[in-house]
């Protein structure tokens, strides 16, 4: 019952019907001329009711056959509306109906107004024929190059025919030039309509080409995303700590990246970087850094500061226009210590023995500029069971909610501390995500965003 009411209201409501009928969001729809013709006929059916406003003119009200002519116009439009639901012979339906309606409108005007005795009255009555020009210009909605011109042609022929028979034995000698004003208007409107059609069709062609290129690029980006996904570490079990990760990118690929580096004697390195910007270029640089970290000399992986300096020098040499922030943590399970260095990255957040999270403030410069040596300070902490480390990229704290407010590092710490009581790491991550969603609401992250939670066993 509700479905029936919904359909009925759509048919009875012209705005709802038109919104459904003329939904041309896909570029391919603008190239389906059969569908456009169907839509044209249905739009013409709604607009043809404007013709009946002619009945408000006193001269037409006195026309002996006006009611019959208006009835024929309504019948023709109803017939064309019915025929619009099939896909054959639509151009013939359109031009046949259009020709007949123009003929009937001119016939009404001819019978009602062409009773003149002087040039002034002739000019006044002749101006009503300019109304047919709207039917000429309306043909441009079909997006057919010859549509307006063809309509203008038979409008001119019909008008000249009525003039000829009316003035053949009329009160005025010859054919005054003022009689040809409607024909000139028809011709001008056909040129305007044809020009608009040519421009629109050209824009549709360009849009179609751009749409094809966009689809191709989207396909390529999806492939690139799958390739980039292989660069991230798999969901593996690492002896010594547990972890949870969250990633989001506004594009198919991005420049935020993390990796686990398996070292000898059970030690592990954790590397996290944020390439400036986002998109394809950042993703390529991130992939390059992944290869650099994997292939650099082993001794550098044991010293966070040296590792960052190596990346800094390589980026400066290879990518002078790109830079990155990064943090590298070396978990030394032999000496029970955590060593890390921060190269211009947001401060690492640390919680020990279930206490509040706090930022570990460090000094360090962005990679890729060669600003200073050493590039960052080395920070060491003893490994304690249950302590948590929270690493993230700046997209998390710099994104704005619907009110335009950034989360900021202070807001992030507040969220972490409100949920620190969750002993299960997965539940802790889900609680943090829930609060982040409540803060940002429906606003998507504008920049690449990543956070990594590590809990020592």
In tens, the pLDDT along 370-386 reads: 888 899 999 999 999 99
Q: Which of 18-22, 100-104, 198-202, 298-302 has the lowest mean pLDDT?
A: 18-22
Sequence length of the chain is 457
For 82-94, b/e burial (b = at least 16 CB within 10 A) is: ebbeeeeebeebb
Distance (Å, whole) CA 243 – CA 260: 11
> Is the backbone peptide bond immediately before 374 cis, with ω within 30 degrees of 0?
yes
Q: How far is CA 234 from the centre of its chain?
A: 33
For 221-249, b/e burial (b = at least 16 CB within 10 A) is: beebeeebeeebeeeeebeebebbbbbbb
Q: What is the mean pLDDT of the chain?
A: 85
Q: Which of 77-81, 105-109, 297-301, 387-391 has the lowest mean pLDDT?
A: 105-109
> How many angstroms separate the Cα of 183 from the Cα of each of 16, 161, 327?
37, 12, 78
Pairwise pLDDT comparison (177 vs 77), residue with the higher score: 77
Among the listed residues 133, 147, 19, the one whose alpha carbon sits nearest the alpha carbon of residue 94: 147
Tokens of 437: 């969603």
Average pLDDT over every residue of 285-291: 85
Q: How far is CA 138 from the centre of its chain?
A: 30
pLDDT digits over 57-100, tens only? 887 887 788 889 999 999 999 999 899 888 888 999 999 999 99
What residue spans of 114-180 are helical by DSSP H?
119-126, 133-138, 147-167
Question: Residue ranges of the domains in the chain?
Answer: 16-212, 236-456
Q: Are 133 and 186 in contact (CB under 8 A)?
A: yes
CATH number of 236-456: 3.60.40.10
Q: Are 91 and 37 in contact (CB under 8 A)?
A: yes
- Asked if residue 20 has pLDDT above 70, the reply is no
pLDDT of residue 4: 39
Pairwise pLDDT comparison (229 vs 405), residue with the higher score: 405
**Percent of the chain as helix, strand, coil, to the nearest 5:** 55, 15, 25
Tokens of 59: 């001269």
Tokens of 372: 């200073």
pLDDT of residue 166: 73
- Residue 233 DSSP code: P
What is the β-pairing status of strands 337-343 and 378-382? Answer: antiparallel
Quote the pTM value. 0.61
Among the listed residues 395, 389, 242, the one whose alpha carbon sits nearest the alpha carbon of residue 329: 389
Q: Are 348 and 360 in contact (CB under 8 A)?
A: yes
Distance (Å, whole) CA 209 – CA 405: 40
Count CA within 13 A, CB hemisphere, residue 125.
21
Backbone phi, psi, residue 159, to 5°: -65, -45
pLDDT of residue 170: 62
pLDDT digits over 416-442, tens only? 999 999 999 999 999 999 999 999 988
Tokens of 277: 């910007």
- Asked if residue 12 has pLDDT above 60, the reply is no
Q: At 304, which helix (H) or strand (E)?
A: helix 304-318
- Asked if residue 203 has pLDDT above 90, the reply is no
DSSP notation for 325-351: EEEEEEEETTTTEEEEEEESPPPEEEE
Integer-rounded Cα Rg, in Å, for the chain is: 38
- Asked if residue 388 has pLDDT above 80, the reply is yes
Residues of the chain with pLDDT > 70: what percent? Answer: 89
Distance (Å, whole) CA 34 – CA 142: 9
Q: At 71, which helix (H) or strand (E)?
A: helix 66-83
Tokens of 206: 């360009």
């Amino acid at each position: 019952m509700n479905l029936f009411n919904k359909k009925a209201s759509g048919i009875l409501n012209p705005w709802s019907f038109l919104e459904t009928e003329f939904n041309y969001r896909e570029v391919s729809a603008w190239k389906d001329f059969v569908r456009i013709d169907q839509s044209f006929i249905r739009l013409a059916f709604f607009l043809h009711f404007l013709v009946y406003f002619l009945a408000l003119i006193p001269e037409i009200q006195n026309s002996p056959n006006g009611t019959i002519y208006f009835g024929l116009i309504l019948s023709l439009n109803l017939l064309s509306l019915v025929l619009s639901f099939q896909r054959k012979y639509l151009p013939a339906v359109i031009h046949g109906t259009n020709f007949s309606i123009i003929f009937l409108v001119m016939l009404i005007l001819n019978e009602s107004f062409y009773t003149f005795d002087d040039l002034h009255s002739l000019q006044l009555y002749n101006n009503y024929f300019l109304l047919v020009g709207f039917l000429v210009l309306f043909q441009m909605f079909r997006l057919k190059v010859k549509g307006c011109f063809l309509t203008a042609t038979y409008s001119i022929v019909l008008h000249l025919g009525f003039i000829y028979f009316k003035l053949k034995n009329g009160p005025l000698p010859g054919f005054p030039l003022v009689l040809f004003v409607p024909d000139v208007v028809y011709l001008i409107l056909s040129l305007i309509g044809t020009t608009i059609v040519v421009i629109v069709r050209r824009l549709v062609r360009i849009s179609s080409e751009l749409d094809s290129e966009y689809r191709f690029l989207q396909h390529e980006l999806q492939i690139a995303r799958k390739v980039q996904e292989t660069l991230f570490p798999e969901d593996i079990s690492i002896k010594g700590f547990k972890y949870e990760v969250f990633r989001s990118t506004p594009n198919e690929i991005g420049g935020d990246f993390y990796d686990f580096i398996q070292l000898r004697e059970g030690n592990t390195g954790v590397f996290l970087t944020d390439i400036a910007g986002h998109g394809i270029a950042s993703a390529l640089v991130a992939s390059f850094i992944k290869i650099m970290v994997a292939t650099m000399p082993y001794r550098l992986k044991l010293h966070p500061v040296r590792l960052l300096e190596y990346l800094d020098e390589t980026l400066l040499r290879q990518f002078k226009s790109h830079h990155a922030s990064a943090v590298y943590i070396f978990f030394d399970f032999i000496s029970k210590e955590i060593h890390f260095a921060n190269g211009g990255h947001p401060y690492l957040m640390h919680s020990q023995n279930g206490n509040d999270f706090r930022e570990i403030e460090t000094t360090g410069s962005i990679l890729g500029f060669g600003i200073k040596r050493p590039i960052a300070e080395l920070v060491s902490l003893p490994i304690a069971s249950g302590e948590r480390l929270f690493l993230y990229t700046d997209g998390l704290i710099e994104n704005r909610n619907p009110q335009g407010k950034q989360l900021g590092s202070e807001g992030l710490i507040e969220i972490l501390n409100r949920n620190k009581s969750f002993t299960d790491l997965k539940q802790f991550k889900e609680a943090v995500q829930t609060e982040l969603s409540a803060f940002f609401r429906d606003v998507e992250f504008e920049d690449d965003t990543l956070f990594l939670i590590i809990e020592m066993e």
